[in-house]
Each structure stands twice: as structure tokens, then as C-alpha cells.
Amino acid sequence: MPAALILLEPRLRGERETVIMFKEALQTIVEKTDGSLGALIMGADGLSVEKFFTDAGAEANLDVAAAEFTSLVRNASRSGSDLDLGELRELVVTLKSVTVVMRLFNKDYFVVLVLKPDGNLGRGRYELRKAELLLAKEFAV
């Protein structure tokens, strides 16, 4: 193995482990929450860091929807700051066909859970909070 690859391997292994950890965390959220369609880790720029969808969620273009909701997160965060109400922690949007729950890790990253209308919102919020605690160090600024 070339010396450059040997030097890079631990760094690459750490990145792979982080990506796998993200995917597993999202999968756990979806599997433990009845009525889940999918979960994503999003950047404030509207790009997904990682995602996990059920078959129904993959068909629903949830990554596009999550990207669109990024502007809601930015606006709600700005409003909370402007009004001295504190930092945004969570945002829930209920639509006719889905409920979207967004939980912030920090100002740059948040996790999104999309549920069917009859999905278990309470369990979903609980699982998002657990994921936030588990992944907090990965998103520390």
C-alpha cells in the first residue's frame, strides 16, 4: 500500500464511520417511529448530509421537501433571535399528507423526520431528541 494511502486511511476510516453512524441513527429513528416515511440530516444551505427513507418516502421526494423547508428553519431562527425569544430548537409543520418535524443540532445543521398523518408524533420527537444527544459532538461548532 502506498505511504500516502496509509497516512490517509485512518482519516478516511473516521469519515466512513461517521457517515455510517449518521445513516444508522436515521434508520433507528424511522424504524422506531410508527408511520415514518423518512429522516434526513440537513445543512442550513438546503443540502442533505445523510438520509434514510422507507419505500413510500423515497417515492414522495422527501429530500426535495426537506430542502424547501430549510428556508422555514432559517426564517424561524431569525425571528426567534430578532425578538429575543432564544434559539430555535424544533419546528413542526403539519400538512394534509405529512407532518414534518425539524430538530436543530445547531445553527448550521438539523434533523428532519417526515411522518404520515397518522404517524406517532410523540415518539418521533422523542427519537429526534435521542439522536440529537447521540450526534451532538459531530455537529459541535
Residue 112 in contact with residue 39, Cβ under 8 Å? Answer: yes
Closest CA to 64 of 51, 77, 54, 73: 51
Read off the amino acid at residue 107: K
Structural domain boundaries of the chain?
3-139
Residue 99 in contact with residue 93, Cβ under 8 Å? Answer: yes
Spatial distance between the Cα atoms of 77 and 21, rounded to a whole number of angstroms: 27
Query: What pLDDT, in 10s, does the model give residues 107-131?
Result: 899 999 999 999 999 999 999 999 9
Query: What pLDDT, in 10s, does the model give residues 50-107?
Result: 999 999 988 888 889 999 999 999 999 999 999 999 999 999 999 999 999 999 998 8
CATH number of the domain at 3-139, please? 3.30.450.30
What predicted TM-score, i.e. pTM, was given to this entire model? 0.84
